[in-house]
């Protein structure tokens, strides 16, 4: 991984352990969320960024030793420790319960194309084993990206596609494809550590059984050391208990987003935004 991409998300490191420790303690003292953050303007990355350059940056047998013992891995673990102190299990769980998983409220409509910010690109193998770039997958499509790290987060994102009668990301995916012919669903599962990710990687055949075959090529298991914590903060998805929906245009811009469990009004708004972006896409390619 080139250092230029790492630095794109790295804050200036405090070399004096005292101030760094005090800052961490101050952040750790913050009370859990009681209401979701209100989203009134575009958020995300200011420019397109590629998080990694090769599939071997993801979970494989060959890189476990490096993940355990390399200097870069040790630095990642130190930053992760700082992050975990300020995002304790109590803080994240309590915030999740207080807000029903809604770390932020959905915007009332999708953001303008020229004002929107970016979702990061990455290279990974999907659960079929095919190497893919997210940027390539987004081309010519409107994309609903489902991002989660835990079982509770996965249940959150599923709620946006389910009703009492249908599951548009599961058994009724054919209806989704008919209703939204230029849209697609992408899953990004980010396990909380390399061991869980490795185990999850061994369970790909079971994951495949839970979704239509046409969705397999857009399901990714991405290590948390690639999807760094400062990236998560910019994407407002730094509570790992919850799940997140990002509506992306064909250029990888975040045009709308949701978090937590969806209610009926939010689902109607999401599908309205998907339809609006499909019409915009059609005009762009006329």
Query: What averages of pLDDT result for each successive group of 10 residues across the chain (286 residues)?
Result: 41 47 50 88 96 66 57 68 65 87 95 97 93 95 97 96 93 96 97 73 85 95 85 93 97 97 96 98 88
How far apart are the C-alpha atoms of 250 and 239, rounded to whole Å? 27
pLDDT for 78: 66
pLDDT for 164: 85
Please, are residues 222 and 124 in contact by the beta-carbon 8 Å criterion? yes
| Buried/exposed 19-39: b ≥16 CB within 10 Å, e otherwise | eeeeebeeeeeeebbeebeeb
In sequence order, the 6+-apart residues with CB closer than 8 A to the CB of 42 are: 111, 115, 116, 117, 254
When the candidates are 3.40.30.10, 3.30.1330.10, 3.90.1300.10, 2.40.50.140, the CATH number that belongs to 3-284 is: 3.40.30.10
pLDDT for 66: 59
DSSP the chain: --HHHHHTSPPPPP-SHHHHHHHHHHHHTPPPPSSPBP--S--SBSS--B--SSGGGSS-GGGHHHHHHSHHHHHHHHHHHHHHHHS-HHHHHHHHHHHTT-SBPPPSSPPPTTT--BPPB-EEEBTTS-EEEHHHHHTTSEEEEEEESSHHHHHHHHHTTB-SS-BTTTTTHHHHHHH-TTEEEEEEE--SSHHHHHHHHTTHHHHHHTS-GGGGGGEEE--TTTS-HHHHHHHT---TTS-EEEEE-TT-BEEEEEESS--HHHHHHHHHHHHHHHHHHHHHT-
């Amino acid at each position: 991984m080139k250092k230029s991409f790492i630095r794109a998300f790295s804050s200036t490191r405090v070399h004096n352990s005292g101030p760094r420790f005090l800052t961490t303690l101050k952040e750790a003292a913050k009370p859990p969320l009681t209401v979701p953050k209100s989203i009134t303007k575009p958020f995300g990355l200011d420019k397109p960024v590629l998080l990694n350059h090769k599939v071997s940056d993801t979970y494989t047998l060959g890189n476990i030793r490096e993940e355990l013992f390399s200097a870069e891995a040790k630095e990642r673990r130190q930053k992760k420790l700082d992050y975990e102190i300020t995002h304790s299990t109590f803080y994240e769980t309590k915030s999740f319960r207080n807000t029903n998983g809604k770390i932020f409220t959905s915007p009332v409509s999708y953001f303008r194309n020229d004002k929107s910010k970016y979702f990061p690109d990455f290279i990974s193998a999907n659960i079929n084993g095919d190497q893919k770039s997210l940027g390539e997958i987004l081309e010519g499509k409107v994309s609903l990206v489902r991002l989660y790290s835990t079982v509770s987060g996965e249940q959150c994102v599923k709620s946006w596609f389910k009703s009492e009668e249908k599951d548009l990301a599961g058994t009724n995916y054919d209806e989704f494809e008919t209703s939204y012919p230029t849209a697609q669903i992408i899953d990004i599962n980010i396990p909380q550590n390399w061991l869980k990710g490795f185990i999850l990687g061994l369970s790909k055949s079971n994951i495949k059984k839970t979704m239509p075959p046409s969705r397999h090529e857009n399901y990714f298991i991405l290590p948390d050391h690639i999807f760094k914590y400062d990236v998560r903060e910019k994407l407002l998805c730094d509570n790992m208990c919850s799940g997140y929906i990002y509506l992306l245009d064909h250029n990888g811009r975040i045009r709308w987003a949701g978090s937590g469990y969806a209610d009926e009004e939010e689902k109607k708004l999401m599908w309205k935004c998907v339809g609006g972006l499909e019409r915009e896409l059609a005009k762009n390619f006329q």
